[in-house]
Amino acid sequence: MQKDLETKFLSDFEQNQNIAHKICRLYTTNQDAHNDLFQEITIQLWKNYPKFRGDSKFSTWMYRVALNTAISLYRKSTRQVKTQDISEVEFRISSFDYDDTEEKQLNELYKAVHKLNDIEKALIFLYLEDKPYKEISETLGISSVNARVKMNRAKEKLKNILNP
């Protein structure tokens, strides 16, 4: 039983690992911190996997656990240097077959999101991932209406950073 659970977890996680990577990129600014957070997310996912009953999709559940880990249970991020290491982010996401303007925009976006606080980051991330308000409010534990209001504020803030 334990073995089955483990195999299932490993394959589910492997397929959805991009979610965790994206969160790590939003919440950290260098590769070491990225790896640390990724590992912490992995630990938390595995620790909580027995409680995952499959009443939602694995990815939905993963968004919640990974975001909560990034928001609250992560110790090392306090050591993070405030100044942003741009070249490293660029290095982390650059790719040959990728549109040049979009690459630039993506870098700007990451840079801007790094300036938001942890909760705003979560809101913006869920927006970028096209999550419905229902899911956003469940993930954060606030009402739909409230999620909508706060989302608009977070978006405004982001726009101001992107286009001052």
Partner 1 sequence: MDLLEKYKKAWDNQPEEKNKVSSIDIYKMAHSKSSSIVKWIFIVGVLELLFWSGINFFVPDSIYVIYEDLNLMSLLNVFLILHYVIILAFLFLFYKNYKKISIIDNTKKLIINILGIRKTVKYYVFYNLATFFLISVVFNSIIFSDENKLMKIMNPKNLSMDMSQFITITLISQIIALIIILTLLWLFYKLVYGILLKKLNRNYKELKKIDDLN
Instruction: In angstroms, give the least distance from the CB of 162 to partner 1.
Output: 6
d(CA 116, CA 162) in angstroms, rounded, equals 12
> Residue 2 corresponds to which tokens in the numbers above?
């334990």
Looking at residue 76, the DSSP 8-state letter turns out to be: G
Q: Cβ distance 35 to 64 under 8 Å?
A: no
* Of residues 51 and 82, the one with the C-beta less far from partner 1: 51
* Of residues 1 and 141, the one with the C-beta less far from partner 1: 141
Contact residues toward partner 1 (CB under 8 A) are: 6, 9-11, 13-14, 17-18, 21-22, 36, 38-40, 42-48, 51-52, 61, 64-65, 67-69, 71-78, 92-93, 95, 97-99, 102-103, 105-106, 108-109, 117-120, 122, 127-128, 138-143, 146, 150, 155, 158-159, 162-163
* Helix runs in the chain, H state only: 2-27, 31-48, 58-72, 86-93, 100-113, 118-128, 133-140, 144-162
Instruction: In angstroms, give the least distance from the CB of 79 to partner 1.
Output: 10
* Of residues 71 and 86, the one with the C-beta less far from partner 1: 71
Instruction: In angstroms, give the least distance from the CB of 83 to partner 1.
Output: 18
* Of residues 70 and 83, the one with the C-beta less far from partner 1: 70
Q: What is the CA radius of gyration of the chain?
A: 16
* Of residues 83 and 146, the one with the C-beta less far from partner 1: 146
d(CA 18, CA 88) in angstroms, rounded, equals 18
Sign of the Cα pseudo-torsion (97, 32, 78, 16, in order): positive
Instruction: In angstroms, give the least distance from the CB of 159 to partner 1.
Output: 5
> Residue 48 corresponds to which tokens in the numbers above?
């909580």
Instruction: In angstroms, give the least distance from the CB of 30 to partner 1.
Output: 13
